[in-house]
Amino acid sequence: MLEIAFPMSMRHFSLHFVLLISLGWVASCSSSTQTAQYRDAGPWAAGVTTLSLGDRSVEVWYPADPASVEGREPYSYFIRDALPEALDLILPAEINPPFVTDAYRDVSASTDGPFPLVIFAHGFASYRNQSTFLTTHLASWGFVVMSVDYLERGLGSVLGEQPENSIDDDALTRMVVVLGAAENDAEGGLLEGRISTERIAITGHSAGGGTSIRFGGEPDVVTYIPLSAGISADSMITLPDKPSLWLTGDIDAVAELEGVERAFGKASPPARLVVIDDVGHLGPSDICAIGESGGGVIQIALDRGLPVPDNLVRLGTDGCQADALPPEEGWPPVRHFVTAQLRWAFGIDPEPVGLSQAVAADIPEAPFTYQEALE
């Protein structure tokens, strides 16, 4: 069984140029450039828009020209929007902290595309916007990122609001890819000609890491990147024969380090593992930065004395505790390594850039250990 989120559970090259230099797998080799050049935002601004897919929404982040966002306010989301009505009515109306993202709502997409598609899969008891610190960053480096509400394991479902129609993870993820292709072909649409879906990548957090493992075996996937996800000792799963990056924190008490290391050890080469010191389960998410005391809706409910099941408290606050690395300090290595892996897997960087322990000097606020198995 997968050990996932909850035991239940160059300016950038245009893709035309990328396709010329990436007809097949890029050779596995050590990094030729040893700098963390993807830790900070890239040459594009990030736009964001919301699409519908039946009974659920899909958030899409995409590259935009920096000039198009001048004078505009960045988009903020509110975690209460993901709550079932019954719980929303219990919380005081004034308790609705925003999370200010690095994206701008419905701005024109850059004409430099089409851009490669990356799927983001959220975790158990979570929601599509849970990791905008990463999804907006990827858009700034020339990727279109699509994140659907996996309602079957979402925050609303865990709190009592089940979807009318249940959809299998893999089927839903494929529906998102098909939606991306349709938006690319939609004449006059915001994303017309901006999304390449011939070759895609997938990343996901916790239970979404499990989704990335399962969907990672699809023929059009060039790499899969599980965040805070591993496999159990008795797991019979066959990991995809694709390049992978495993990223976690060393104090994760939900998807424990042993399980992540086990998955990395079983993964087909080239495989990479990054373990960040003093980062817990929610480190690769926005959640620990939401609200006055961090921890998002679970901590807000606890602060108001509302009853929350112990298992959900554990899942919803792991990594937000006082002895954990502040979330903003843990994000740079996640941003850098995920971006570097994607750029290498898509052939944008013919040789790996900064996929090495040597980049630690450029990320002093978040010590980490890096391992790789290239053959």
Of the CA atoms within 13 Å of residue 253, those in its CB half-sphere come to 13
Q: In this predicted structure, what is the pLDDT of residue 2?
A: 44
What does the alpha-carbon distance between residue 213 and residue 320 come to, in Å, rounded to a whole number? 26
Note whether 31 and 234 are within 8 A (CB): no
Q: What are phi and psi of 43, to 5 degrees?
A: -75, -15
In CATH terms, 2-373 corresponds, of 3.40.50.1820, 3.40.50.1100, 3.80.30.20, 3.40.50.1110, to: 3.40.50.1820
Low-confidence ranges of the chain (pLDDT < 70): 1-32, 84-94, 293-296, 307
Element (H, E) at 178: helix 169-185
If we measure between CA atoms, which residue out of 172, 107, 111, 119 comes closest to residue 144? 119
Q: How far is CA 180 from CA 50, 52, 61, 150, in A?
A: 12, 11, 12, 17
Q: In this predicted structure, what is the pLDDT of residue 7?
A: 34
Kind of pairing, strands 98-100 and 76-78?
antiparallel
Q: In this predicted structure, what is the pLDDT of residue 262?
A: 97
Q: In this predicted structure, what is the pLDDT of residue 29?
A: 38
Note whether 64 and 44 are within 8 A (CB): yes
Dihedral of CA atoms 132, 252, 123, 135 in degrees, nearest 10, equals: 20
Tens of pLDDT, residue by residue over 220-271, are 999 999 999 999 999 888 999 999 999 999 999 999 999 999 999 999 999 9
Tens of pLDDT, residue by residue over 22-81, are 323 333 334 457 899 999 999 999 999 999 999 999 999 999 999 999 999 999 998 777
Q: In this predicted structure, what is the pLDDT of residue 308?
A: 74
Break the chain into its structural domains and give their ranges: 2-373
Residues in Cβ contact with 326 at an 8 Å cutoff, skipping those fewer than 6 apart: none
Residue 52, helix vs strand vs coil: strand
Q: In this predicted structure, what is the pLDDT of residue 40?
A: 98
